[in-house]
Amino acid sequence: MLEEASRREKIDMGLLRRYHEDGDVLAREELAERCMPLVRSLARRYAGRGESLEDLVQAGTIGLVKAIDRFDLGSGHRFVSFAAPNIQGEIRRHFRDHTWAVHVPRSLQELDAKVQGAQAAILQETGREASDDDVAEALGITVDEVREAQAVGRSYRATSLDAPSGESREIIDTCGERERGYEHVEAAVVVEDAMNALKERDRRVLHMRFHEGLLQREIAERIGVSQMQVSRIIAAAVDRMGEHVRAGEPAPVAA
């Protein structure tokens, strides 16, 4: 077993020298292919957390390539030992950068991870749930920072608006309020359509009464009729509009 590992390490180092010293890109590709089983093995550790294994392998491969490029031939370290943390780091970075429902600063994402780790450690040690004060003391931060990190953690996944909220409604039913402005718009459209069913004189009278706010006496003076006639014109026009709306018929353009 040790002999096999030693043989593999020699092959890896040979490929690394060809790449770093001779600029042999094919050696880089061959080394990356040889290390893909390691990438897949590390990626499987993070499977089942909401990301596909294929995406995790792809992220891990980026970490592997970076490790190949950064490896110091004179460090005396085994390449596999150097590559593994680089691969894991890129997979974790994938989770930080691509799986949060709401974008939050990376520093807060990392603080959230520390808070969760401290909570788990305190639970294991004491057998009870950790309070915010416990976590703050363990991490050497303030309680407000703990609570901010917990709020960030709740942003990791968004809840669908179709999710249940109680027995007979969904979350979307609890959001927003009725916009009364839409009712005014609809009413204006109905009135405008009904106005087209009136004669020109009747439309003018209604416009003066309800849009300009003139008194019936003032309207009578403008169109040269009595105030009683104006009252009758308004009543008849309103009735005609009501009939038109109830009938739901297209409005004829009256002369």
Strand-pairing partners, residue 170, are: 164
pLDDT digits (tens, 9 = 90+) for 125-171: 887 888 989 999 999 999 888 888 777 666 555 554 455 555 555 54
2-98: CATH, from 1.25.40.10, 1.10.260.40, 1.10.443.10, 1.10.1740.10: 1.10.1740.10
Distances (CA, A) of 202 to 211, 221, 228, 244: 13, 15, 14, 15
Quote the tokens at residue 50.
């909401």
Averaged pLDDT, 230-246: 88
Tell me which residue has tokens 């294994």.
53
* 106-174 under CATH 1.10.10, yes or no: yes
Q: Is the pTM of this model over 0.85?
A: no
Q: Where are the domains of the chain?
A: 2-98, 106-174, 180-247
Identical fold for domains 106-174 and 180-247, yes or no, is: yes
pLDDT digits (tens, 9 = 90+) for 208-219: 988 888 898 899
Distances (CA, A) of 110 to 46, 145, 209, 218, 239: 17, 12, 68, 75, 70
Averaged pLDDT, 99-122: 73
* 180-247 under CATH 1.10.1760.20, yes or no: no
Averaged pLDDT, 38-46: 88
Q: How confident is the model at residue 194 (pLDDT cuts 50, 70, 90)?
A: confident
